[in-house]
Structure 1
Amino acid sequence: MIELENIAYNYGGGELLSEVSLELSPGGFYFLTGPSGAGKTTLIKLCYGALVPTTGQLKMFGQDRRTMERDDIAQARRRIGVVHQDCQFLNHLSVSDNIALPLMVSNRDLLAEAVNLKELTNWVGLASRAQALPPELSGGERQRAALARALIMSPDVVLADEPTGNVDWEMSQRLLRLLVELNRMGKTIMIATHDLGLIRAAKSQVQARVLRISNRRVQLAGADL
């Protein structure tokens, strides 16, 4: 689905990632780990086409990122749901309307999608908060709303950048269970995290590959995690 072949990415005059080759396969579950500043967020952005590699080849659903037109990129991104680290919302809109924003941007029929929106809001445990405004939400509720927004277009791939970074352990486990359930439904999942405890907790629930960014390269982590 997403293929990176011998890519490098330069940032601020220096090389942040180098000689990275990675393939996100259909139905795969991946953890991306590494210290702060190693390039986890940059790699996530490369995977959904927000950044173009300095060298090497990036393919999104079989298309070379460098040759994709704006419409091609938009179509590809509809197949990728992204849970951003900072969880930005429009504070004057309700939780339900924030979740539905990708539908509005894509000119989808909101009435036709109403049942799906309601079911998704319920699935992430926010049915009772659907009409609340974002400033009224707790950290865990914001993360679940962000996950719902990433899923509203029924993507094939879900990329989550530190989705449990600002929540307690109980909520991080709830978010993990939701992502594992998505994977069992056939979605490809990649979670960028520095939380090794979360990775260990996931091992009893899903068969995941653990990737570590070290010295600008992506390596398969050992079995000691």
Structure 2
Amino acid sequence: MIEFENVAYSYGGGELLSDISMQLVPGSFHFLTGPSGSGKTTLLKLCYGALIPTAGHLRIFGEDVAMLGRDDVAMARRKIGVVHQDCQFLDHLSVLDNVALPLQVSDQDTAEAMADIGELMSWVGLTNRAHALPPELSGGERQRAALARAVIMSPDVILADEPTGNVDWEMSQRLLRLLIELNRMGKTVMIATHDLGLIRAAKSQVQARVLRISNRRLQLAGADL
């Protein structure tokens, strides 16, 4: 689905990532680790076409991103759901309307999808908060709303950038269970996190590959995690 071949990314004259080679295959589950500033968010942005490699080849659903136009990248990104670290919402819209926003942007009939949206809100445990405004949500509720918005288009790949960074342990476990459930439905999942406890908790529930960015390169993490 997403394939890196000797990919590098430079910014401002400095190389942030170097010689990255990996594949996200259908149904796989990955954790992406590394210290703050190591390039985890940059790698995720490459995965969904927000950034273009400065060297090497990056293929998304078989297409080299360097050869794709803006519209082609936008179409490919409909198959990729992203849970951003900062969870940005439109504060004047309800949680339900924020979750449904990707359907409106893609010109889909939101009215026909309302039953599915209701099920999705129930799945993330936000049925009672559907008509609240984003500033009224707790940190955990915002993260669950972000996850619902990321999967509303039924993407093939879910990318989550530090989804448990601002929530307590109990809520982080709930979010992890939701992501594992998506994986069991056949979705490819990659979670960027510095929380080794979260990774250890997941290992008993899902077969996950743990990748670590170190010195600008991607490595397979050891079995000690």
TM class, shorter-length: over 0.9
Equivalences for residues 1-225 of structure 1 within 5 A: 1-225=1-225
Counterpart residue identity of residue 57, structure 2: Q
Taking the aligned partners of 2:58 and 2:50, their CA distance within structure 1 comes to 12
Taking the aligned partners of 2:198 and 2:78, their CA distance within structure 1 comes to 28
CA RMSD of aligned residues (A): 0.4
**What's the CA shift string for 1:25-61, capped at 9, x where partnerless?**
0000000000000000000000000000000000000
Q: Secondary structure at the match of 1:23?
A: strand
Sequence identity of aligned pairs in percent? 77
Query: Cα distance, 1:128 vs. partner?
Result: 0.3
Taking the aligned partners of 1:165 and 1:70, their CA distance within structure 2 comes to 31
Taking the aligned partners of 1:147 and 1:72, their CA distance within structure 2 comes to 24
Q: Secondary structure at the match of 1:177?
A: helix
Could you tell me which runs of 5 or more consecutive residues in structure 2 were left unpaired when the two chains were aligned.
Answer: none
Q: Secondary structure at the match of 1:159?
A: strand
Query: Cα distance, 1:154 vs. partner?
Result: 0.2
Taking the aligned partners of 1:41 and 1:58, their CA distance within structure 2 comes to 16
Q: Secondary structure at the match of 2:91?
A: coil
The runs of at least 4 aligned residues of structure 1 exceeding 2 Å deviation read none
Counterpart residue identity of residue 69, structure 1: G
Counterpart residue identity of residue 218, structure 1: L
Q: Secondary structure at the match of 1:100?
A: helix
**What's the CA shift string for 1:150-179, capped at 9, x where partnerless?**
000000000000000000000000000000
Taking the aligned partners of 2:54 and 2:110, their CA distance within structure 1 comes to 39
Taking the aligned partners of 1:42 and 1:117, their CA distance within structure 2 comes to 30
TM-score normalised by length of structure 2: 0.99
Taking the aligned partners of 1:144 and 1:198, their CA distance within structure 2 comes to 17
Query: Cα distance, 1:11 vs. partner?
Result: 1.5
Q: Secondary structure at the match of 2:85?
A: coil
Number of paired residues?
A: 225
Query: Cα distance, 1:72 vs. partner?
Result: 1.2
Could you tell me which runs of 5 or more consecutive residues in structure 1 were left unpaired when the two chains were aligned.
Answer: none
Query: Cα distance, 1:3 vs. partner?
Result: 0.4
Query: Cα distance, 1:93 vs. partner?
Result: 0.1
Taking the aligned partners of 2:99 and 2:136, their CA distance within structure 1 comes to 15
